[in-house]
Amino acid sequence: MTHAASLLGQYLGGMVTDSTNIDSDRLTSTGTSERPLAVVVVTYNSNDVVGSLFDSLAEGLVGLTHTEIVVADNCSVDASVATVLGHPIGARVVHTGWNGGYAAGINAALATIGEDTDVLILNPDIRLSRGVAAQLVSALRQPGVGVAVPRILYENGGLVHSLRREPSLLTAWADALLGSKLGSGIDLGESICNPRYYDLQRTVDWASGAVLAVSAAARRRVGAWDESFFLYSEEVDYQRRVRLEGLSIVYVPDAQVVHIGGDYQQRPRLYSILTTNRIRDYARHHGPASTALFRLAVLVGECVRSLAGSTVHLAGMKAALGAHRLLQESTTRSTPGVGDA
């Protein structure tokens, strides 16, 4: 049983806080066939950014009638919850009671949402453009679509390379030896960096977990998010399972959002978690020899980039070196140690 499942009992016992009754108004039937949509946001000391997200929700949800907003708070010690509850848009807060990571927060929120509801999972540092949720929901109505993702932009309007290929030895060594931009620019690396690729709607292997619209059908068939990934790679795992269920991940270029994030690029500890979980995720689906070559590729790439004095890539190098020990320990432990970080 996941931690999220136990939280459902807490929810029914009054562990959920409503700021207003706007949610129930939104969920009132208007006689249409529109499935309800729940916006899910996980917060952890997110007060600096979550207010701006909430400011964008009214515009972002234009065109949809049956909506609600659910925030799973991972025991923030700042004013995140107060900011959410004080916002006029209206939201429901699920208090998880601990910082169990991003996947655990998502599961805690989903445990309180009906199984026939589509969900729009958002990082707290996202800003929605007008009508973007309706565009993503429209994509979910296409036969066989399980997840829809938007075009993601930086604050300055630059394109975020949010689309990805399935991790492989080819992508890992291309990124290690050529660099992520060059490797992907010639269709080899994990991140897809060719800007022309982002011009057309298409199916992809997976995409950034900062914004994911997930259909009710996908939720039922795929199940809970894997909480053993404390942070990063949980979206790789989830979208892989969506594909294994015969459903597709669809990129919708006309649906646009702004992402303020990228913390892992400046914070060594977060980058260390990202690096470790990349290797852990790969190891789950490949044998020891292939995993060793993948880990070596990651290690080589981090070593090369740390030569310039980058503390972030130095942390990545150390994480890749330590991943061998972690993988050995994970065979005898149900929850790998990085999830306790």
Question: Averaged over 325-338, what is the pLDDT?
Answer: 43
CA distances from 50 to 46, 67, 133 (A): 6, 18, 17
Q: Quick: pLDDT tens for 132-152.
A: 999 999 999 999 999 999 999
Look up residue 259 and give its two tokens. 């992402």
Q: Quick: pLDDT tens for 2-55.
A: 444 444 344 333 345 555 333 333 333 333 357 999 999 999 999 999 999 999
| Predicted pLDDT of residue 1 | 44
SS3 category, 255: strand
Name the β-bridge partners of 73: 43, 95
CB 202 within 8 A of CB 230: no
pLDDT level of residue 321 (50, 70, 90 thresholds): confident
326: pLDDT strictly greater than 80: no
d(CA 212, CA 220): 16
Q: Quick: pLDDT tens for 197-253.
A: 999 999 999 999 999 999 999 999 999 999 988 878 899 999 999 999 999 999 999
Continuous segment of H or E residues that includes residue 249:
strand 248-259
pLDDT level of residue 275 (50, 70, 90 thresholds): confident
| Predicted pLDDT of residue 21 | 35
What percentage of the chain carries pLDDT values higher than 90?
65
> Beta-carbon neighbour count of residue 132 at 10 Å?
27
Amino acid at 331: T
pLDDT level of residue 263 (50, 70, 90 thresholds): low
Q: What CATH class has 3-166+205-261?
A: alpha beta
Question: Averaged over 258-270, what is the pLDDT?
Answer: 73
| Helix 268-283, helix 234-244: angle, nearest 10 | 30
Q: Say if residue 237 is exposed, middle or buried (CB neighbours under 10 Å; 0-12, 13-18, 19+).
A: buried
pTM of the model: 0.84
Q: Quick: pLDDT tens for 147-167.
A: 999 999 999 999 999 999 999
pLDDT level of residue 81 (50, 70, 90 thresholds): very high
